[in-house]
Structure 1
Amino acid sequence: MKAFGKILGLVLLGLLLIIVALGFALTHLFDPNDYKDEIRQIARDKAHIELTLNGDIGWSLFPWLGLELHEASVATLTNPTQPFADLQMLGLSVRVLPLLRREVQMSDVRVEGLNLRLNKDVHGHGNWEDIGKNAPVAGTTPEVPAVTDPATPPKPEKPPQPIRLDIDSLTINNARVEYNDEQTGKQFSAESIQLSAGAIHDGASIPLKLTAFFGTNQPLMRVKTELNGNLRIQRALKRYQLEDMKITGEATGEPLQGKTMTFATQGQLLVDLAANIAEWTGLKLSANQLRALGELKVNDLDKTPQISGALSIAQFDLAKFLDSVGHTLPAMAPGSLSKVEMVSRLTGTPTSLALEDLNLKLDGSTFTGRIAVDDFAKQSLRLQLKADTFNADNYLPAKSEAANSAAVARQAEVQSSEAGAMAAGGNSPLPDAPTKGAWSTDKLLPLTRLRTLDVNADLAFDQLILSKLPIQNAALKASGLDGQLKLDTLSGGLYNGTFQANGNLDVRQDIPVLALQTHIKQVPVERILQAQGKNPPIKGQVTLDSNLSGRGNSQKALIDSLNGSASFVITNGVLLNANIEQQLCTGIALLNRKTLSSEPKGKDTPFQELKGNLTFRNGVASNPDLKVRIPGLTVNGNGDVDLRVLGMDYRVGIIVEGDKRDMPDPACQVGSNFQGIEVPLRCRGPLELGAKACRLDKDGLSQVALKAAGNKISEKLEEKLDKVNPQLKDALKGLFKR
């Protein structure tokens, strides 16, 4: 028995020596390079690919089945002359005995110079779609699958046992992946790919490092990036984790206008295909000056993924950030967009995103509510926000140099006319009609952007400052689609009065069309003018209704084409720095052939009501029914307001009632001959002068004298003419010589 055991041991040792000898002989005496044609044929028959082996094949048999390929390429059988992948070298080795247990135990796997080319042709067919397909044979018809007997259902196949994967390390050097879409002309690439992974074991933490350069041609963009982390694969549970992930890099290209954006992000990633969820926790993100924290979760990976999470952005200078990524903003008020921070809850899908429970701080203003993009492709923007105080003027583009120069020239014209009127106390000649344009030719609207706008906005403000007007409890509802924008309402309180507007803007054509309706009720008119930086010529509570339309993309174009109608009433007002009583008494004294004993002390003219209707035609407003109620006076007028130059030209008639004070000026008393007579005034000049541009109309005064004299003038004309003021005498003589 003992001898048998010894003999058996010798036999086993001999067999082992024979196996080792055979392995040595196979690896040293058998050269796989002699069988390249057979290997290529096996690749065609079994894998349905065209394998080209230009380099040598190195191999080992035991205890490692080693393989090393050089200068190899792979193509599909449908297009064998155009490889979709090639590599300089592939080296790997597998333990032989574990293969019998369906275990893959590899040492180092190394890939050098891999090039992968994915191409979609003009018909939308990708070359990767043919991988594994047999080559088409001309004149053959596709095989018809055999029909099975429905009474005998096929036996279900047993699911294959999962292969256990065990790799000591994986290294990929200098790889490149290229994607080309001939339909759209778009190209994507990943170059200089360097991948290194530690020991790869199922369920174990795998150290991972990846660097690459990514690029696109539409738009032209290049991104350098590096990824580090620990990968954990649990194939039986369909669970994949990237722990302690960190991605850093730099991006440059056309969207950044040649500038560079440095970015970094980190966190913990989890994909659980069994539960159909993905999570990104501990999210940290930075991009130049921007810093953010948050978390993301995606449910229903097998259906339409549903996104949820939270995002917090620390305070940063948005204007500087946008400038650093190549998006310089128009000139704004100093400090605008310098303090921006946000906290929000996220919801969305692959085609939409919503910021719910939003709290946005913007330069001292706080917005709460919701911002959503319902469709990324259509850029469908939805806003539901409430703010405390917001100054919209700080975010409007500044005026151009040309607009500023025009404004300075017009202001000089107004000041010259005003100085002349004040110096002469209202006795100077009528101011000249203004000629300087009052409006900018700068473009107002980005038409191309507005045509693509799909927006629905519902905004509320405790206070909205717009055109320097503080609108209290402002509400704004607006929408836009396919180049047609609608202002449903802009309303609020204004200086203890109310303001409301609505309208439409059509930007489908090169010349936009604007229609606007406004209603202002009991708003101090002087406060509106003061807010615009103008010295008000009038005070009072204005109520205004207007329905106007215009065409163009500048202030000047809109005003030049302004058409429509308006009605206005100003109550409990004052004509500032304009004493109508002085003008009236001067006219009465002239008719009485007397001289005023003193100048009226007051410099303003209070009135009870000023009202009228306006008809706009190409920027000129006709006002045929101006009426002013002043205690003791009745005033009627008609004229035009030329909005193109902000000028006016009016003829005003004042019904004479005389000096109603307790101690009237004798020269200003109305005799029986002048009862009910209108004293004429002419008002011409810049609109800002108001009543300061009014003068006694001496041409019209001669008509008054004629009416007062009645039929007696024809009998005693010469006698009266000898006694009246010489100026009036000349006017009357001229009248009767006509």
Structure 2
Amino acid sequence: MKRVITTLAILLVVVVTGMSALVLLVNPNDFRAYMVQQVEQRSGYRLDVSSDLRWHVWPQLSILAGRMSLTAPGASQPLVSAENMRLDVDLWPLLSHQLSVSQVLLKNAIVRVTPESSAQRAKNAPQGPRDAEPASASSGWSFDIAKLRVADSLLIWQQPGGDEYNFRDLNINMEQDANKLATLSLSTSLMRNQRNATLNLKGQLDAAQYPHRLSGQLQQLDYALSGADIPVQGIKGSLSLQGEWNGDRQQFSFSNLQLTANDSMLTGQGSGQVALPQQLVLDLKASTLNLDNLLTSTPVPETPGVQHATVARSPVIAAPRERSNADSPLNDLNLALKLQADSVVWRGLSLTGLVVNASNQQGLMTLNTLSGKLGNGSFSVPGSIDIRQPETQVSLKPQLRLIAIQPLLKAFELPESLQGNLSLDGELSGNTLTVDAAKRSWQGRATVSASNLKLAQLNLQQMVQRAVARVSDKVSSQEAVDEGIESISGQVALNKGVISFSDINGNGQNLGLQGAGKVDMVQQQLDVTLGLKISGWHGDEALVKTLSSQPVPLRMYGDWNSLQYSLPVDAVLRDRLQSEAKSRLNQWIDRQKEGENKENLKKIMRP
């Protein structure tokens, strides 16, 4: 044991002595020009190191540098700048005065991905033909760099003409082998307009054919969003996929997509093209898709005694940047989307079997198919959305079949005063694709019908029967059980928040009705008049005949939270009595005239 310890101690002394001698014999500044030359030769980027290089021996033989920057050709700002840079080097190549860097560590770096930091083509630079063969594969500019670490840094990202985003606490670890197969991990956070986002990424990247091809696997990307204009519980989830990039054609594709967002889950695949015209093809499937947990526009149910958290709104900026349809990325994109979802929750509605087949042609979006089931009913809403003009144009042709009315009213934040099943065929148009805009500014017409319709806390037959009983005791009827209206149909017109009903016809047990009216969704008022015909009366034949044949007008009007009613049964009966009295008077007059005529005839016939 003593011999082993003595041997190890001797070896340690030899290694330390050798490294110390190497440090004394080799000046790291001798490699400065070599590093600058290699970086520029392999990538075209300019490397600047402002301070002298110095050795760091323990625990890893390294070269320490102060401020450094890496600038793309023709760029006005560096792509990467850092306060500290450490190069971990291999020992044996130094014996022959060669530099082999095993790891690069940048600390407190600033990475700029902006128009100012991107490479610029020289004004007089020659351009080859578009159909020329692509350049040979680049060997990369890592020059034997196996590991790259970026710690406690900042990423500034900005698209041309877009907003600037600062990703803080940027940490990157990348390792690559001799075959250019890299393992990557990344974490960062973003804060903007009172919104927070955190990202944690792990993946693999095959850069053996870079820049012509890249392929890789995003093993896991965990994200979390919170703050203003985001649901109170936030949005959390993960993403994984396999992807490939074709640099020559500027095309990409991905498969085995698995995306989770709160309790929603999507799978699928897609492909696209970055070069103009940009293209994107998506084929997605969802087992569950809860939009209410992802959107802030969902109505919150009012439960007595329960307090609901309020979604924080984005701050008011003194001079906000005006956005228009011209800013939409859809104007430069050709999109084809296919989506199938087994279960979807939208504004409290539980949809099943949702199928979406949509396309976008540089701002003209077409909903070829938007269909599904709601309860025992079904729906289909094809249409188009045009954002090629400053004002959005929306055109939809909804078709509903036996859709439950009460949940639908709740979803659109309307009084839940009707029960039954609704069928509808219509055409709607507007200038903004939101529920609030649809209730305020859309226009359209539709043919509607409903079955098993009931008015909440309102029995039409019973109202008429009790009103007749108060006016006259000559007729009676067995008090009806509220079985609603078996079927009703009519025409509906929507004009800037006002729904107008016309040609309303319906029937139920011992009930027939006709009518018209309107509902103002903006002012929350209505004015509807129904002519009710009730059968099943007993008593005075004349009154029974009158009540069975003549409609009794029921008017409902005023604020829909405190409706007023008008049911003038006495006027109907009074009109009937007046009509009967007038008829009897006319009969008496006719008899009198007939008697006088007979007397005159007798006088003429008398000899």
Secondary structure (helix, strand or coil) at the match of 1:109 reads: helix
Cα-to-partner distance string for 1:688-733 (whole Å, 9 max, x where unaligned): 78xx7543046xx63664356436327669xxxxxxxxxxxxxxxx
Alpha-carbon deviation of 1:479? 2.4
- Structure 2 residue 235 is the aligned partner of structure 1 residue 337: yes
Alpha-carbon deviation of 1:534? 6.1
Residue 290 of structure 2 aligns with an amino acid whose one-letter code is N
Conservation of the 8 A alpha-carbon contact between 1:110 and 1:170? no
Q: Report the Cα distance in structure 1 between the residues aligned to 2:341 and 2:363, rounded to whole angstroms.
A: 27
- Structure 2 residue 396 is the aligned partner of structure 1 residue 516: yes
- Structure 2 residue 507 is the aligned partner of structure 1 residue 606: no
Conservation of the 8 A alpha-carbon contact between 2:113 and 2:156? no
Alpha-carbon deviation of 1:333? 4.5
- Indicate the residue corresponding to 2:205 in structure 1: 296
Cα-to-partner distance string for 1:363-385 (whole Å, 9 max, x where unaligned): 23332111444326666443211
Alpha-carbon deviation of 1:194? 5.3
1:678 pairs, out of 529, 532, 551, with: 551
Distance 1:246 1:195, change over 3 A: closer
Q: Report the Cα distance in structure 1 between the residues aligned to 2:178 and 2:275, rounded to whole angstroms.
A: 26
Cα-to-partner distance string for 1:47-69 (whole Å, 9 max, x where unaligned): xxxxxxxxxxxxxxxxxxxxxxx
Conservation of the 8 A alpha-carbon contact between 1:113 and 1:173? no
Conservation of the 8 A alpha-carbon contact between 1:383 and 1:456? yes
Larger deviation: 701-710 or 632-641?
701-710
Alpha-carbon deviation of 1:200? 5.3
- Indicate the residue corresponding to 1:245 in structure 2: 147
Secondary structure (helix, strand or coil) at the match of 1:319 reads: strand
Distance 1:708 1:650, change over 3 A: farther
- Structure 2 residue 566 is the aligned partner of structure 1 residue 695: yes
Alpha-carbon deviation of 1:625? 0.7
Conservation of the 8 A alpha-carbon contact between 1:193 and 1:210? no
Residue 355 of structure 1 aligns with an amino acid whose one-letter code is F
Residue 393 of structure 1 aligns with an amino acid whose one-letter code is D
Q: Report the Cα distance in structure 2 between the residues aligned to 1:189 and 1:622, rounded to whole angstroms.
A: 64
1:449 pairs, out of 309, 319, 328, with: 328
Residue 696 of structure 1 aligns with an amino acid whose one-letter code is L
- In the TM superposition, 1:14-413 aligns within 5 A as 109-111=30-32, 178-179=71-72, 181=74, 188=79, 190=81, 197-198=89-90, 199=93, 206-208=100-102, 210=104, 213=109, 216=112, 218=114, 242=144, 244-249=146-151, 250-253=153-156, 260-270=168-178, 279-287=180-188, 290-298=199-207, 300=209, 305-313=212-220, 316-319=222-225, 330-334=229-233, 336-338=234-236, 340-350=237-247, 351-375=250-274, 380-398=279-297
Alpha-carbon deviation of 1:211? 5.5
Larger deviation: 544-553 or 490-499?
544-553
1:487 pairs, out of 340, 344, 367, with: 367
Residue 393 of structure 2 aligns with an amino acid whose one-letter code is V
Query: Which residues of structure 1 form unaligned runs of 5+?
Result: 1-91, 94-105, 120-125, 129-167, 223-237, 272-278, 321-327, 409-441, 718-738
Query: Which residues of structure 2 form unaligned runs of 5+?
Result: 1-24, 47-60, 119-138, 159-163, 190-197, 303-315, 317-322, 587-607
Cα-to-partner distance string for 1:136-167 (whole Å, 9 max, x where unaligned): xxxxxxxxxxxxxxxxxxxxxxxxxxxxxxxx
Q: Report the Cα distance in structure 2 between the residues aligned to 1:253 and 1:243, rounded to whole angstroms.
A: 24
Q: Report the Cα distance in structure 2 between the residues aligned to 1:668 and 1:374, rounded to whole angstroms.
A: 82
Distance 1:708 1:612, change over 3 A: farther
1:463 pairs, out of 343, 349, 356, with: 343
Q: Report the Cα distance in structure 1 between the residues aligned to 2:98 and 2:78, rounded to whole angstroms.
A: 37
Q: Report the Cα distance in structure 1 between the residues aligned to 2:145 and 2:114, rounded to whole angstroms.
A: 33
Residue 296 of structure 2 aligns with an amino acid whose one-letter code is P
For these two proteins, the number of residue pairs brought into alignment is 482
Residue 100 of structure 2 aligns with an amino acid whose one-letter code is I
Distance 1:332 1:381, change over 3 A: farther
Conservation of the 8 A alpha-carbon contact between 2:395 and 2:427? yes
Alpha-carbon deviation of 1:398? 4.6
Q: Report the Cα distance in structure 2 between the residues aligned to 1:352 and 1:300, rounded to whole angstroms.
A: 15
Alpha-carbon deviation of 1:460? 0.9
Q: TM-score, normalised by structure 1?
A: 0.55
Cα-to-partner distance string for 1:553-583 (whole Å, 9 max, x where unaligned): 7655544432221111111232331121232
Residue 585 of structure 1 aligns with an amino acid whose one-letter code is Q
Secondary structure (helix, strand or coil) at the match of 1:460 reads: strand
Conservation of the 8 A alpha-carbon contact between 1:472 and 1:493? yes
Distance 1:590 1:111, change over 3 A: closer
Residue 318 of structure 1 aligns with an amino acid whose one-letter code is A
Alpha-carbon deviation of 1:312? 0.8
Q: Which structure has the bigger radius of gyration?
A: 1
Alpha-carbon deviation of 1:217? 8.7
Distance 1:467 1:192, change over 3 A: closer
Secondary structure (helix, strand or coil) at the match of 1:318 reads: strand
- Indicate the residue corresponding to 1:274 in structure 2: none
Conservation of the 8 A alpha-carbon contact between 1:548 and 1:564? yes
